[in-house]
């Protein structure tokens, strides 16, 4: 089986590293709009070769889209003439807008998937082979894709050690807005407010593991995340409003010196320990 990967950053590059180790995969080809990334990916051995889009379309059994979600929307138009046996797997963090953009002709080739894997680093040098092992991958609206392409993607993801979960694109975008996109909006806001109010010396002196954990994802790629916020705008706004109500609740308990109620409220929040 021959694989093509469009986008050789953290996600695409890590995928290349994993797939090159799979015995049933004979060739992993890559491409990236950034020529330096292409060169780096070859040097790092993330892929066997670099192809043009047209070459990749002809050669590959599966093409992965591992680029920012707005770029996915653009590139799917160029895949319209793909062979019906070729599987296209999109790895974007949003689903509804991407599915809307897929040309009708290739909708059954198309598997909308979201691997819950990433770090705050980006680009080919951030890639590592362990990224996907044990991570969840959501496969969305699978009934709209051909059975052949669903089976192929399920086999491939499970061989990479991933935990597959099926859900609708609508559900995915709603849940992801709360559990993934909102935390990014919060982390960027926290980093931004601390940078405005504190000098470097105090940040370094007083930051412990707690603060570091809270601002880690603010180090993520602005291109990738502004795209995600754009595509999941309405869900994200609802999630932010819901969070602001909780933060207001906390602030009001402090303002009104309701210390016992504050402790109870914290104890409720702390029940997240029973889940994660």
User: Per CB under 8 A, which of residues 130..189 are in contact with a copy of itself?
Assistant: 135-136, 138, 165, 167, 175-176, 178-180, 182-189
Q: Which of 74, 148, 151, 263 binds a copy of itself (CB under 8 A)?
A: 263
Which residues, in sequence order, are bridge partners of residue 87? 62
Contact 91, 31 (CB under 8 A): no
Closest CA to 181 of 244, 95, 133, 240: 240
- Nearest-angstrom CA–CA distance, 197 and 35: 39
Where helices occur in 44-137 by DSSP H, the ranges are 53-59, 69-75, 96-101
Pick between residue 128 and residue 243 the one whose CB is nearest to a copy of itself. 243
Residues 202-231 that bind a copy of itself (CB under 8 A): 202-220, 222-223, 225-226, 229-230
Q: Could you give phi then psi for residue 42, rounded to 5 degrees?
A: -65, -45
d(CA 21, CA 248): 50
- Residues 79-138 touching a copy of itself, rule: CB under 8 A, are 116-119, 135-136, 138
Q: Which range binds a copy of itself by CB under 8 A, 12-20, 22-30, 74-82, 267-275? A: 267-275
Judged by CB, which is closer to a copy of itself: 103, or 123? 123
Q: Please, what is the minimum distance in Å from the beta carbon of residue 135 to a copy of itself?
A: 7
Output 17 or 217, the one with its CB closest to a copy of itself: 217
């Amino acid at each position: 089986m021959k694989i093509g990967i469009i986008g050789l950053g953290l996600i695409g590059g890590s995928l290349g590293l994993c797939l090159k180790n799979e015995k049933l995969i004979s060739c992993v080809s890559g491409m990236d709009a950034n020529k330096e990334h292409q060169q780096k990916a070859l040097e790092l051995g993330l892929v066997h070769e670099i192809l043009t889009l047209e070459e990749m379309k002809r050669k590959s059994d599966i093409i992965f889209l591992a680029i920012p979600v707005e770029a996915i929307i653009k590139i799917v138009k160029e895949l319209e003439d793909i062979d019906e046996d070729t599987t296209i797997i999109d790895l974007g963090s949003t689903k509804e807008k991407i599915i809307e953009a897929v040309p009708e002709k290739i909708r059954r080739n198309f598997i909308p998937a979201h691997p819950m894997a990433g770090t705050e680093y980006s680009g080919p040098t951030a890639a590592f082979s362990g990224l996907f092992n044990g991570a969840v991958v959501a496969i969305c609206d699978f009934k709209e894709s051909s059975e052949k392409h669903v089976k192929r993607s399920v086999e491939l993801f499970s061989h990479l050690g991933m935990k597959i979960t099926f859900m609708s694109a609508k559900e995915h975008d709603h849940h992801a807005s709360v559990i993934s996109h909102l935390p990014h909006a919060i982390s960027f806001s926290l980093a931004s407010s601390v940078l405005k109010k504190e000098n470097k010396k105090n940040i370094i002196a007083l930051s412990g593991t707690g603060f570091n954990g809270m601002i880690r994802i603010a180090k993520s790629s602005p291109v990738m995340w502004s795209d995600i916020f754009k595509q999941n705008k309405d869900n994200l706004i609802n999630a932010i409003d819901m969070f602001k109500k909780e933060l207001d609740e906390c602030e009001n308990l402090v303002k009104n010196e309701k210390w016992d109620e504050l402790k109870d409220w914290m104890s409720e929040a702390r029940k997240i320990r029973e889940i994660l």
